[in-house]
């Protein structure tokens, strides 16, 4: 049984479709079911995609009206790779978090939020990671104006004024 058929059988509503491209198989699934699909791919003993290698996003809104959030998975036991993709719609896309499945998803999702504005529902600490907190917008969106001026902030001495911790201390 093909991978997409198996995923559709185990997770109804996943709408899984397998695309074979030059770089390898790509499993496209329903955004609402991504957490269930990733958990199945990780926990199924025959598949065992136990490593989240990386995550990224692509802004296809001008062409296709959506973003693509891409998960790069690896099965260490079987030495195989799989790309999983979801296509959240609209200008304020929301995807369920994968940070409760892989700790490495925490920072990757924060980077995607910071650069593209894709929100991850259920993320424990979704805040900027690359841009400063006063930065307005998401610079890797296709509609981000390249000549946009950002608010000026005073220079900070990291010795006398270190970054505040998450609890504000």
Question: Which pLDDT score is estimated for 99?
Answer: 96
164 belongs to a structural domain: no
Model confidence band, residue 165 (pLDDT cutoffs 50, 70, 90): low
16, part of any domain? yes
Pick from 15, 38, 40: nearest CA to 28: 15
Q: Which tens digits make up the pLDDT trace of 112-151?
A: 999 999 999 999 999 999 998 888 999 999 988 888 888 7
Give the least confident one: 75-79, 92-96, 131-135, 149-153.
149-153
Rounded distance, CA 16 to CA 4, Å?
A: 5
pLDDT for residue 166 is more than 70: no
Is 159 inside any structural domain?
Answer: no
Q: Is residue 128 part of a domain?
A: no
SS (H, E, C) the chain: CCHHHHHHHHCCCCCCEEEEECCEEEEECCHHHHHHHHHHHHHCCCCCCCEEEEEEEEECHHHHCEEEEEEEEEECCCCEEEEEEECCECCCCEEECCCCCCCCHHHHHHHHHHHHCCEEECCCCCCCCCCCCCCCCCCCCCCCCCCCCCCCCCCCCCCCCCCCCCCCC
Share above pLDDT 90 across residues of the chain, in percent, rounded to a whole number: 70
Q: Is residue 127 part of a domain?
A: no
Global confidence as pTM: 0.88
Residue 168 has pLDDT above 70, yes or no: no
Q: Is residue 78 part of a domain?
A: yes
Counting Cβ atoms within 10 Å, is residue 68 exposed (0-12), middle (13-18) or buried (19+)? middle
Q: Are strands 67-75 and 51-59 parallel, antiparallel or unpaired?
A: antiparallel
Q: Considering the domain boundaries, does residue 88 fall inside one?
A: yes
- Per-residue pLDDT averaged across 36-52, rounded? 96
CATH number of the domain residue 76 falls in: 3.30.460.80
* Average pLDDT score, the chain: 91
Number of folded domains that form the chain: 1
Is the residue at 38 inside a domain? Answer: yes
Identify the domain containing residue 45 by its residue range.
Answer: 3-121
């Amino acid at each position: 049984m093909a991978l997409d058929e198996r995923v559709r059988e185990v997770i109804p509503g996943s709408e899984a479709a397998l695309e074979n491209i030059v770089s390898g198989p790509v499993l496209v699934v329903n955004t609402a079911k991504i957490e269930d699909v990733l958990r199945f791919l990780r926990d199924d003993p025959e598949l065992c995609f136990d490593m989240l290698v990386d995550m990224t996003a692509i802004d296809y809104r001008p062409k296709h009206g959506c973003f693509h959030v891409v998960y790069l998975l690896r099965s260490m036991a079987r030495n195989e790779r799989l790309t999983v993709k979801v296509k959240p719609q609209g200008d304020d896309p929301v995807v369920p978090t994968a940070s409760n499945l892989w700790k490495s998803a925490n920072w990757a999702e924060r980077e995607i939020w910071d650069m593209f504005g894709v929100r991850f529902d259920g993320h424990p600490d979704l805040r900027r990671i690359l841009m400063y907190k006063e930065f307005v917008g998401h610079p890797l969106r296709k509609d981000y104006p390249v000549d946009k001026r950002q608010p000026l902030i005073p220079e900070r001495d990291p010795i006398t004024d270190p970054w505040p911790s998450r609890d504000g201390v």
